[in-house]
């Protein structure tokens, strides 16, 4: 064991010495001005009488134009590799306009030797036959690439799709996502906007194969008044209304270089400059500190308080801190390393390097808003993402090895899914070669970790609001993964899934366990499915928010390692083999978790492929999964349930194991023979999961089988046929309540279409159904029925954009199946240029149904729509009987700045009446300010009954150069289904730059829930501050802040403990009295109330204030003296601790400083016998580089 300890120390010190030597050897390169270099004036004839030739090189790296004060400067950064490629057009295209303009953005134009914009018709579902391919050899930014729509056969509502491919000289390509353009009426078209500015800086790449290296060159402009046109490096640059611009590009050039800057002023005069830059071949940067503190303290009086403090025992103590950061870039390699032992007793400096260190309270708060904490224009990013003492990452092109924090990233499989945020070792290998489809030929992902955390998943039904509370507080920073799922309202099948991005789509407060979405999330949306044969009348799709994350738990033992390996290799361009292995060792209290999987991919083309997967698991990945209808205030699992599970998990989750199988594929039949049409497609799937199988997306205890296929063929211009079949079977019991249920559904159908004439199409469908259900509380769900149904449809387009249709269906054969004859008439009519009507009416054995939707464009800026739906369902399993829904709404573009919308849905059924309402407005008050509002009200059918929900959201955003404020105010009300609560939330953040030296900043987040019959919940975060950062006379720096925190525990957050209310005031300042003497001071006051309970119990108050004063004095060159006094006072307990420290330091050399000093501390408590005095000497040695 001793040898192991010494080995760790030797390895760390060796790394430290290597970094120091490397830095010292390259100090010449670092000091060379490679980062910032300005325009050279050697070859420019400066004439101070002419407009934009009036310039001075005021500071290195800048040009200042005297007539406007404007500046242009460049920065060469060899560190980041952040390639960006994107394309954009207006998403909603006015059908009356023939031309579509595409804009391309990229920051590696020099690498791209060929580009293609590929455009597809909406019928070409497999993107086999593009209607147009636009191509070129050079990319010009901010210049539209135009495409003329083929107007023939296009009508309102049609869509076209497009994607961008970019090739390098070796033929490797990057490709963006596929985007949609919808042809709409003028009222619904995208408002005119500067797409070239909107797209700037965005990256839409989904396939990346072009390697990128070299340096990134950034060029900035500020306050460029009177400039008409500007180009940088032969690229046209847009200047904003403030006269600013930003531009960046990558280059592999090395050494001295230059690029042209061309300016055209308002008078039409043109000026050309060459901006000279230096591009380094390699780059390194390092900083480090070694701080050793040795001393001895002598204590008189009571030492009870100090017994656990090693600095106050009878012996000489030693403490220290070792830390460094190092970055090196050379050839294709990039090395980033960092270590920080933090200050502690020297014998513990090298312990715990493999452990995750939970981030403390202040790190969680600091992450939230850098503006609030620093009060200036500072920004930062974490180059070393680590939650432990050590971080190192070595990269070569697309491969890397890492010790630090990482996401496991096993997300490519259906069942063998494992995506956690961990701390430890990870190795990634990605070969440089790719298949002809753009897939990396060989990938490997290996990790080892001691997580000390648990993984869980929360699911929320959309509330119409933006705030959602997780089941746990104090979650791991950066571990939240958030997505929105749209689920079928009847079966729960996932129809669509959207992954959200942190900071862009939502903000997370890890400390409180809270998600705030940037936009409110609705509860339901209109259904997305339809067909000839119907089971039910109208129903909607549910909208759910899903959050996966890690949390700390003191109730479990995680002393053993978690490891995993995932690999995939394309043996040829058409065959790939992959494998997954994960193992979690959890200690004695919880069963270990294991996941193994193997997968094979067969690919003929981009559109024809098959994936086969087998997976096996032992144990459960998640101990608890939770669901909430009201944003986390009430959940499926109560706190008591969680405590029972976590207290004895083996009682509920013992000896759990199972297998899972998946076979999925798609077929574009034209890939096999030109005999087929590009619209001939097929899909197939087979998914089976044992009851004991567990992974992140399949954590329930049910056994399910889900398999089927679909095929669609366009036989010729007249005939088309489609057929398919599927089976779904689910059975099992809950891990927690042991209720056993069984559900089985069989479907098989065939459709035949006949284009009788140009205007008339006839279709027919046969569908076989078999449904079984047992074990449900609702007896209507315990069924056994079987039937064969036939349906026919006739569509007649008697004029362009005017179609009527008729449908009929009936059971041909049936067994205990309730009669389901149904007859339908419908129409899709564009009656005038302004009015469009869709109507459908059905009647049959199970009742009547009517659906009507009309849309009328009063003007190009104002449209009205109305809808009516009747579902008079008389079947035995209908709980509501006749349901009627009437919808009326409008959208009004008042002007180019204001859009208003309003919708009402009126509902009526046998149980009662209801209304769903939505009102909204978006108003661009100016280029700097946008305001908006959304009001929603509706009734929700939950497992606990009917829930009435109202939500209101109002927002505003205002931003100019010196002032920024963002506001959101929300109100929500729930009634019914066992709930009765009102919710209020306001989120506010602002900053005001008074001038270049003074900045005001503040925030206010307030959340309140009036639970009526239960305990109320309240959470407040408020603060304001002033920052003073002088520019021209940097003698005084000052920052003052006031903060208020209140957290009255959310009832169903499992790991909440105390309710807290606290006020904090702080003021810090430093002033340079003379060149040799400066003085610094700090005052802080905190008053806090706590109670050991959530919503009940007695409050206990504490008041503390802190005074600190420090003097620094340069006695002689390289000799420094300091003195510091501090006092911490507990006002309630009438006690205080105060002390002083003095010291003298000698700068032995540039990187080494040695100091000696003396300190004393006194503690006085009038209410106890714990008074003490402590004093002693110390020696401090500080080395740095």
Identify whether the C-beta of residue 1100 lies closer than 8 Å to the C-beta of residue 1089. yes
Instruction: Report in angstroms the alpha-carbon separations of 605 from 241, 437, 574, 671, 677.
Output: 48, 8, 8, 7, 16
Strand partners for 894: none
Confidence (pLDDT) at 820: 83
Q: How far apart are CA 515 and CA 500, in angstroms?
A: 12
For the CA atoms of the chain, what is the radius of gyration? 34
Residues of the chain with pLDDT under 50: 1-8, 10-60, 359-373, 528-529, 539, 878-880, 911-912, 943, 1167-1168
Instruction: Report in angstroms the alpha-carbon separations of 664 from 241, 309, 614, 680.
Output: 53, 62, 12, 18
CATH architecture of 33-80+215-279: Sandwich (2.60)
Instruction: Report in angstroms the alpha-carbon separations of 1098 from 559, 564, 1060.
Output: 38, 49, 12
Provide CATH 2.60.40.10 ranges for the chain: 86-207
Confidence (pLDDT) at 224: 82
- Yes or no: is domain 86-207 CATH 2.40.30.10? no
Give how far the C-alpha of residue 910 lies from the chain's centroid of Cα atoms, to the nearest Å: 43
Instruction: Report in angstroms the alpha-carbon separations of 723 from 346, 708, 714.
Output: 74, 11, 12
Q: How many residues does the chain have?
A: 1185
Residues 6+ apart with CB under 8 A from 2: none
Confidence (pLDDT) at 661: 94
Instruction: Report in angstroms the alpha-carbon separations of 296 from 270, 316, 894, 1036, 1122.
Output: 73, 5, 77, 36, 20
Q: How far apart are CA 384 and CA 395, in angstroms?
A: 13
Q: How far apart are CA 337 and CA 330, in angstroms?
A: 15
Confidence (pLDDT) at 575: 95
Q: List, in sequence order, every beta strand (DSSP E) within 994-1075.
A: 998-1010, 1017-1028, 1036-1048, 1059-1072
Buried b (16+ CB within 10 A) or exposed e, 919-950: bbbbbbeeeeebbbbbbbbbbbbbeeebbbbb
Q: How far apart are CA 980 and CA 982, in angstroms?
A: 7
Token look-up 């069984």 returns 742
Q: How far apart are CA 416 and CA 970, in angstroms?
A: 40
H or E, element range at 655 = none
Residue 813 CB-half CA count within 13 A: 7
Identify whether the C-beta of residue 871 lies closer than 8 Å to the C-beta of residue 881. no
């Amino acid at each position: 064991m001793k040898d192991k300890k010494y080995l760790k120390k030797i390895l760390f010190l060796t790394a430290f010495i290597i970094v120091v030597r490397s830095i010292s050897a390259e100090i010449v390169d670092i000091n060379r001005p490679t980062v910032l270099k300005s325009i050279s004036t050697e070859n420019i004839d400066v004439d101070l009488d002419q407009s934009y030739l009036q310039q001075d090189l005021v500071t290195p790296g800048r040009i200042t134009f005297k007539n406007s004060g404007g500046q242009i400067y460049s920065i060469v950064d060899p560190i980041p590799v952040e390639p960006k490629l994107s394309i954009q057009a207006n998403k909603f295209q006015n059908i009356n306009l023939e031309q579509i303009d595409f804009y391309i953005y990229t920051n590696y134009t020099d690498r791209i030797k060929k580009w293609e914009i590929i455009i597809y018709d909406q019928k070409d579902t497999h993107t086999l036959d593009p209607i147009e391919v636009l191509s070129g050899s050079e990319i010009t930014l901010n210049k539209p690439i135009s495409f003329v729509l083929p107007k023939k056969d296009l009508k309102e509502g049609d869509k076209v799709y497009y994607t961008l491919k970019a090739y390098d000289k070796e033929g490797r390509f990057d490709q963006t996502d596929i985007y949609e353009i919808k042809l709409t009426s003028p009222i619904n078209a995208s408002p005119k906007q500067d797409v070239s500015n909107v797209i700037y800086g965005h990256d839409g790449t989904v396939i990346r194969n072009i390697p990128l290296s070299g340096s990134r060159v950034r060029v900035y402009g500020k306050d460029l008044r009177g400039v008409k046109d500007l180009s940088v490096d032969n690229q046209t640059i847009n200047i904003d209304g403030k006269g600013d611009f930003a531009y960046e590009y990558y280059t592999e050039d090395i050494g001295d270089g230059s690029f042209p800057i061309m300016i055209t002023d308002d008078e039409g005069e043109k000026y050309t400059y060459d901006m000279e830059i230096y591009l380094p071949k390699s780059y390194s940067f390092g900083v480090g500190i070694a701080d050793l503190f040795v001393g001895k303290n002598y204590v008189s009086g009571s030492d009870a308080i100090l017994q656990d403090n090693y600095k106050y025992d009878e012996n000489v103590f030693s403490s220290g801190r070792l830390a460094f950061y190092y970055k090196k870039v050379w050839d294709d390699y990039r090395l980033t390393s960092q270590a920080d032992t933090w200050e502690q007793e020297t014998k513990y400096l090298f312990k715990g390097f493999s452990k995750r260190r939970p981030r403390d309270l202040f790190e969680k708060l600091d992450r939230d808003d850098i503006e609030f904490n620093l009060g200036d224009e500072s920004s930062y990013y974490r180059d070393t993402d680590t939650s432990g003492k050590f971080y190192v990452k070595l990269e070569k092109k697309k491969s890397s090895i890492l010790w630090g924090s990482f996401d496991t990233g096993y997300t490519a499989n259906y069942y063998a899914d494992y995506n956690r945020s961990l701390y430890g070792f990870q190795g990634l290998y990605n070969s440089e070669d790719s298949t002809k489809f753009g897939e990396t030929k060989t990938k490997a992902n290996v990790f080892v970790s001691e997580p000390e955390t648990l993984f869980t998943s929360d699911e929320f039904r959309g509330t119409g609001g933006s705030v959602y509370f997780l089941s746990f507080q104090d979650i791991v920073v950066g571990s939240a993964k958030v997505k929105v799922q749209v689920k079928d309202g009847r079966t729960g099948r996932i129809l669509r899934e959207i992954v959200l991005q942190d900071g862009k789509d939502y903000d997370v407060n890890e400390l409180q366990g809270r998600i705030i979405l940037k936009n409110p999330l609705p509860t339901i949306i209109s259904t997305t499915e339809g067909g000839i044969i119907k089971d039910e009348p109208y129903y909607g799709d549910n909208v759910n928010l899903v959050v996966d994350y890690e949390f700390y738990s003191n109730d479990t033992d995680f002393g053993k390692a978690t490891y995993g390996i995932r690999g995939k290799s394309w043996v040829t361009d058409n065959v790939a083999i992959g494998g997954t292995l994960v193992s979690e060792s959890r200690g004695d209290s919880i069963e270990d978790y294991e996941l193994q999987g193997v997968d094979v991919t067969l690919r003929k083309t981009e559109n024809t492929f098959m994936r086969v997967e087998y997976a096996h698991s032992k144990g459960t990945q998640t101990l608890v999964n939770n669901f909430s209808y009201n944003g986390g205030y009430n959940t499926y699992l109560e706190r008591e349930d969680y405590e029972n599970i976590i207290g004895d998990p083996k009682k509920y989750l013992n000896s759990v194991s199972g297998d899972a199988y998946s076979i999925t594929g798609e077929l574009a039949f034209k890939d096999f023979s030109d005999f087929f049409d590009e619209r001939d497609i097929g899909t197939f799937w087979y998914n089976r999961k044992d009851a004991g199988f567990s992974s992140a997306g399949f954590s329930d205890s049910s056994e399910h089988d889900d398999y089927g296929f679909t095929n669609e063929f366009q036989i010729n211009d007249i005939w088309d046929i489609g057929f398919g079949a599927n089976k779904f079977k689910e059975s099992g019991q809950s891990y927690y309540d042991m209720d056993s249920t069984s559900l089985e559904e069989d479907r098989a159908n065939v459709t035949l279409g006949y284009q009788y004439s140009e205007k008339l199409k006839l279709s027919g469908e046969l569908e076989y159904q078999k449904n079984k259900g047992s074990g449900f509380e609702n007896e209507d769900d315990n069924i056994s029925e079987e039937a064969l149904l036939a349906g026919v449809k006739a569509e007649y387009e008697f004029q362009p954009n005017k179609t009527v249709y008729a449908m009929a269906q009936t059971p041909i054969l049936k067994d205990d199946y309730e009669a389901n004859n149904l007859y339908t008439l419908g129409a899709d009519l564009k009656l005038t240029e302004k009015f469009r009507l869709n109507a459908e009416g059905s009647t049959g054995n199970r009742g009547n149904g009517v659906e009507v939707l009309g849309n009328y464009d009063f003007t190009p800026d104002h449209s009205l729509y109305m809808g009516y739906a009747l579902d008079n369902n008389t079947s035995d399993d209908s709980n509501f009987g006749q349901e009627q829904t009437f919808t009326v709404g409008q959208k009004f573009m008042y002007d180019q700045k204001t859009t208003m919308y309003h919708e009402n849905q009126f509902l009526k059924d046998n149980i009662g009446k209801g209304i769903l309402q939505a009102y909204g407005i978006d108003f661009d008050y100016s280029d700097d300010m946008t305001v908006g509002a959304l009001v929603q009200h509706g009734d929700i059918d939950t497992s606990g009954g009917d829930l009435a929900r109202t939500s209101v959201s109002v927002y505003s955003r205002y931003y100019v150069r010196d002032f920024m404020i963002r506001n959101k105010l929300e109100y929500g009300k729930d009634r019914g289904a066992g709930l009765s609560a009102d919710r209020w939330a306001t989120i506010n953040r602002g900053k005001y730059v008074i001038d270049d030296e003074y900045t005001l900043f503040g925030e206010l987040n307030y959340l309140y829930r009036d639970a009526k019959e239960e305990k109320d919940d309240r959470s407040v975060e408020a603060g304001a501050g002033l920052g003073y950062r002088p520019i021209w006379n940097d003698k005084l720096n000052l920052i003052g802040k006031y903060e208020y925190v209140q957290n009255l525990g959310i009832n169903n957050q499992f790991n909440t403990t105390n309710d807290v209310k606290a006020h904090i005031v702080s003021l810090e300042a430093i002033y340079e009295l003379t060149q040799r003497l400066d003085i610094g001071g700090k005052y802080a006051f905190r008053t806090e109330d706590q109670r050991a309970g959530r919503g009940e119990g007695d409050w206990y108050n504490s008041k503390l204030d802190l005074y600190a004063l420090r003097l620094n004095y340069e006695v002689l060159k390289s000799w420094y003296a300091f003195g510091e006094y501090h006092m911490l006072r507990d006002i309630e307990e009438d006690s205080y601790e105060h002390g002083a420290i003095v010291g003298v330091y000698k700068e032995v050399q540039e990187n080494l400083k040695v100091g000696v000093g003396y300190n004393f501390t006194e503690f006085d408590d009038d209410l106890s016998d714990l008074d003490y005095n402590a004093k002693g000497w110390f020696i401090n040695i500080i080395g740095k580089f």
